Amino acid sequence: MTPLLSVEDLRVYFPSGQRGETVKAVDGVTFSVGAGETFGIIGESGSGKSTLARAMVGLIPPTDGRIFHAGQDIATMSGAEFARHRRSFQIVFQDPNAALDPRMSIGQTVREPLDIVNADSRADRDRRVLRLLDHVGLNPELALRYPHELSGGQKQRANIARALALEPKLIVCDEVVAALDVSIQADILNLFARLQAELGLAYVFITHDLGVVGHVADRIAVMYLGKLVEMGSADQILHHPLHPYTKALLSSEPLPLPKAMRTGTRIVLEGEIPSPVSPPSGCRFRTRCWMTQDKCAEKEPAWLKYGADRWNACHFTDFNRDGEASDRAPSAAMPPAH
Amino acid sequence: MTATQPLLDVSGLTISFRQGGSDVAVISDLSFAIQPGESVGMVGESGCGKTVTGLSLLSLLPPETAKVSGRIGFDGVDLTKLSPRDMQKIRGRRIAMIFQEPMSALDPVFTIGQQISETIRAHFPVNAREARERAIDALAAVGIPLPARRYDEYPHQLSGGMRQRAMIAIALSCEPRLLVADEPTTALDVTVQAQILDLLLALTAKSGTALLFITHDLGVVAEACSRVLTMYAGQLVEDAMVDDVLTRPLHPYTSGLLRSLPRLSAAKSVLPAIPGRVPTNAEWQAGCRFVPRCSHALIACDAPQLLRGEEPHRVRCGRYSELSLPGVLP
Ligand SMILES: Nc1ncnc2c1ncn2[C@@H]1O[C@H](COP(=O)(O)OP(=O)(O)OP(=O)(O)O)[C@@H](O)[C@H]1O
Ligand SMILES: Nc1ncnc2c1ncn2[C@@H]1O[C@H](COP(=O)(O)OP(=O)(O)O)[C@@H](O)[C@H]1O
Ligand code: SF4
Ligand code: SF4
Ligand SMILES: [Mg+2]
Ligand SMILES: [Mg+2]
């Protein structure tokens, strides 16, 4: 079956600085997302998640590699064809204000994509806006309000309504709940789940919150300095991680548990993510990896398949451990949900 | 619980801002204490008054518009009665504060080292050379590599994590008795957050500095604090030991905050969000301010609710003894 979205050896470079340097924000990434699926991407800031997100929906041209929307290479589409196509692949950003024009009412903002397509009458479009607002849990009265009159959660709902206007098949969500309080975050996550059940939407869900990704994702990819280091089912990644970076990331998440239950030892990584202008030789994670050996500086670890849909890039991953309980699975320490 | 005299003893703290000719209340009758060396968390949704409370402890609210009443006892002295000059001697020396965005607290035109030296010289009779040495030691203590070189760098030359370390170095350079930390790790990645938390806890433990840790992250509270204050709409609604509140919260709001964490629900299940939103100041009622969102509300809840219960667990909910509310455990 053709995946809804696939990305093959994608690279996105930006020129930077005066000395003709290149920022390798995304540097060889391959994965695909099926219809109706939620694909999570996690990793530290600066790892290239937002750049990847924008490239996926055609907002930034790739430097190299290919992006397929429903099996079709978007680079081969004509302008008009792509414009039509883009409607099915939407994006929502972290900052609820980013896509809202302060001079446009919420109703106008949500209607704008419909106005551009201009397929039906103005009255039909207005009716559709009210339905969309209702759909995302906004009182239709808010159509007449302006962004500054809305709370962060309400603005994010308006952004989602706008993204839904053209009936997409996939929405890329880049840290969409990061700026929201937990109870509002819970509301928005419930909304995403309901829309997925009702409309069969697929999501690419980018977040640095492991609790959030564990709740929404079917599969998860872990990104570090422009590359994926591990990919697998949400359960595999969160409960049986293979890659040293995934393990460190999971163990640094502070858990809201009483002292006696916080038993896992923590791997505190030293230093911060290096610059993507000149990534370390060999394995990019080696400057912070507590397992690093000489080989790691000399040779880049290959992106290898471990089992049905499980990938990992580390020279020292023990093949046999796949599927077994990892020696470090801090999130498994959370009490089982009822 | 302890016989020691509290380091900080806030009682009846009420804060309002002058806005368009009228006073808008933001903190109502807040009372809590912090023991020497104790680490206390403060949680609550956006706009509940956490930052305003923190700023008031250092007299950092805008004097033209902010009206502060009540008592802020610190080491036996009521800070609200101090002259600006006397307060200046305490700020930075006895009580220090760090913020979410270090750039807003660091001065872009001075080097990191100058800013630490200046703080030290404002409070100790040392010469420039001694201040420099102490500042370099302070940079080393917060884990900044090559501290002698970093001394001469400007804030914009440092990464987010390094800036946060520099701000901690400034705040702890005079070994204050109390550090108010307002979301100091919120903007950081979990990996760097873990480094900064370890650092903060190690340094405050070493100098016996008490911590008021403002955060919206209950995981951070569990990790860094022994007691936690839950704020709702300008009021303290629960004051309890962290382990008690995580396992058996007594206020429906605290329970709601815990239960809405995605970690605690089965993957893909509907999350128990708290319905509605925090009321604006204009919507505050005389009775329990949580009534419109509380699934346990009764008519009696419309009457003013007092903070009650046995130390060290106090709660502002008249029904607390009849309710059995879920915490993080199923
Ligand atoms: N200088 C000011 N003038 C007027 N009102 C203010 C001022 N500072 C804060 N407020 C108001 O006081 C209330 C409490 O604000 P505060 O910043 O303490 O919230 P908070 O709990 O820290 O929220 P967050 O989690 O978003 O940081 C809010 O209603 C806010 O709008
Ligand atoms: N337009 C741009 N020009 C130059 N560098 C960029 C641009 N966009 C992103 N970058 C750089 O690419 C890297 C990855 O950034 P980003 O995709 O935003 O990461 P993330 O979303 O994971 O935090 C960062 O080093 C960032 O500074
Ligand atoms: S390849 Fe080496 S440096 Fe990279 S993750 Fe594996 S052990 Fe660590
Ligand atoms: S006093 Fe009543 S409304 Fe307020 S928290 Fe308690 S039960 Fe809910
Ligand atoms: Mg990003
Ligand atoms: Mg605040």
Cα–Cα distance, B177 to B172 (Å, whole number): 9
Q: How many CA atoms lie within 13 A of A317 on its CB side?
A: 27
Q: Whose CA is nearest to atom 25 of ligand 2?
A: A46
Identify the CATH number of the domain in which residue B30 sits. Answer: 3.40.50.300
Q: Are residues A241 and A195 in the same domain?
A: no
- Among B263, B280, B295, B328, the strongest candidate for a mutation testing the A interface, having the largest count of A CBs within 10 A, is B263
Q: Are residues B134 and B255 in the same domain?
A: no
Q: Are residues B188 and B276 in the same domain?
A: no
Contacts of A181 in chain B (CB under 8 A): 45-46, 216
* Those residues with Cβ within 8 angstroms of residue B181's Cβ, 6 or more apart along the chain or in another chain: B97, B98, B200, B211, B212, B213, B214
Q: Are residues A145 and A273 in the same domain?
A: no
User: Hey, are the CB atoms on A215 and B219 less than 8 Å from each other?
Assistant: no
Q: Are residues A218 and A246 in the same domain?
A: no
Q: Is the pLDDT of residue A176 over 70?
A: yes
Domain-located, residue B95: yes
| Total Cβ atoms within 10 A of residue A274 | 17
Cα–Cα distance, B285 to A196 (Å, whole number): 39
Domain-located, residue A229: no
Number of domains in chain A: 2
Top pLDDT among B227 and A137 is at B227
Tokens 């696939």 correspond to A6
| Total Cβ atoms within 10 A of residue A193 | 18
b/e burial code for range B38-53 (CB count within 10 A of at least 16 → b): bbbbbbbbbbbbbbbb
Q: Whose CA is nearest to atom 10 of ligand 2?
A: A25
Domain boundary among the residues A193, A224, A255 is at A224
Q: Are residues B187 and B311 in the same domain?
A: no
Identify the CATH number of the domain in which residue A115 sits. Answer: 3.40.50.300
Q: Are residues B26 and B75 in the same domain?
A: yes
- Type and span of the H or E element at A208: none
Domain-located, residue B188: yes
Q: Are residues A91 and A142 in the same domain?
A: yes
Q: Are residues A84 and A201 in the same domain?
A: yes
Closest alpha carbon within chain B to A44: B189
Beta carbons of A36 and A201 less than 8 angstroms apart? yes
Q: Are residues A75 and A96 in the same domain?
A: yes
Domain boundary among the residues A198, A224, A250 is at A224
Percent over 70 (pLDDT), chain A: 94
Q: Are residues B220 and B257 in the same domain?
A: no
Q: Is the bond preceding B312 in cis, omega lying within 30 degrees of 0?
A: yes
- Whether B317 lines ligand 4, by a CB cut-off of 6 Å, is yes
Domain-located, residue B239: no
User: Hey, are the CB atoms on A334 and B263 less than 8 Å from each other?
Assistant: yes
Q: Are residues A135 and A205 in the same domain?
A: yes
Q: Are residues A69 and A193 in the same domain?
A: yes
Confidence category of residue B100, pLDDT binned at 50, 70, 90? confident
Q: Are residues B17 and B101 in the same domain?
A: yes
pTM listed for this prediction = 0.89
Q: Are residues B182 and B40 in the same domain?
A: yes
For B27-37, the pLDDT digits (tens) are: 999 999 999 99
Domain-located, residue B128: yes
Domain-located, residue B34: yes
Q: How many CA atoms lie within 13 A of B191 on its CB side?
A: 22
The alpha carbon of residue B153 is apart from the nearest alpha carbon of chain A, in Å, by 18
Joined tokens for residue B291 = 């009534």
DSSP symbols for A90-131: EEE-SSTTTT--TTS-HHHHHHHHHHHHT-S-HHHHHHHHHH
Q: Is the pLDDT of residue A1 over 90?
A: no
> Of B13-17, B98-102, B232-236, B246-250, which range is least confident?
B98-102
Cα–Cα distance, B207 to B316 (Å, whole number): 34
What's the whole-number mean pLDDT along residues B243-255? 97
Q: Are residues A198 and A73 in the same domain?
A: yes
Highest mean predicted confidence (pLDDT) among A139-148, A175-184, A253-262, B205-214: B205-214
Cα-Cα end-to-end distance for chain A: 35
Beta carbons of B89 and B34 less than 8 angstroms apart? no
- Whether B290 lines ligand 4, by a CB cut-off of 6 Å, is yes
Q: What is the pLDDT of residue B40?
A: 98
| Structural domain harbouring B114 | 8-225
Q: Are residues B211 and B284 in the same domain?
A: no
Domain-located, residue A14: yes
Domain-located, residue B328: no
Q: What is the DSSP letter of B91?
A: B
Q: Are residues B148 and B277 in the same domain?
A: no
Joined tokens for residue B317 = 């909910």
Q: Are residues B49 and B139 in the same domain?
A: yes
Number of domains in chain B: 2
Helix%, strand%, coil% for chain A, nearest 5 = 35, 20, 45
Q: Are residues A206 and A238 in the same domain?
A: no
Q: Are residues A10 and A142 in the same domain?
A: yes
Q: Are residues B218 and B276 in the same domain?
A: no
Domain-located, residue B73: yes
Task: For residue A7, list its beta bridge partners.
Answer: A31, A67
Domain boundary among the residues A172, A203, A224 is at A224
For B153-179, the pLDDT digits (tens) are: 999 888 888 888 999 999 998 899 999
User: Hey, are the CB atoms on B265 and A210 less than 8 Å from each other?
Assistant: no
Beta carbons of A42 and A210 less than 8 angstroms apart? yes
Cα–Cα distance, B292 to B275 (Å, whole number): 9
Q: Cα of B252 to ligand 4 centre, how many Å?
A: 7
Mean residue pLDDT of chain B comes to 93
Q: Are residues A189 and A249 in the same domain?
A: no
Confidence category of residue A262, pLDDT binned at 50, 70, 90? confident
What's the whole-number mean pLDDT along residues A47-68? 95
C-alpha dist (Å) from residue A203 to A193, A199, A214, A299, A322: 10, 12, 14, 34, 27
For A205-235, the pLDDT digits (tens) are: 999 889 999 999 999 999 999 999 999 999 9
Domain-located, residue B238: no
Q: What is the pLDDT of residue A330?
A: 33
For B175-213, the pLDDT digits (tens) are: 999 999 999 988 888 888 999 999 999 999 999 999 999
Q: Are residues B73 and B192 in the same domain?
A: yes
Cα–Cα distance, A224 to A28 (Å, whole number): 12
| Structural domain harbouring A100 | 5-224
- Among B190, B193, B214, B278, the strongest candidate for a mutation testing the A interface, having the largest count of A CBs within 10 A, is B190
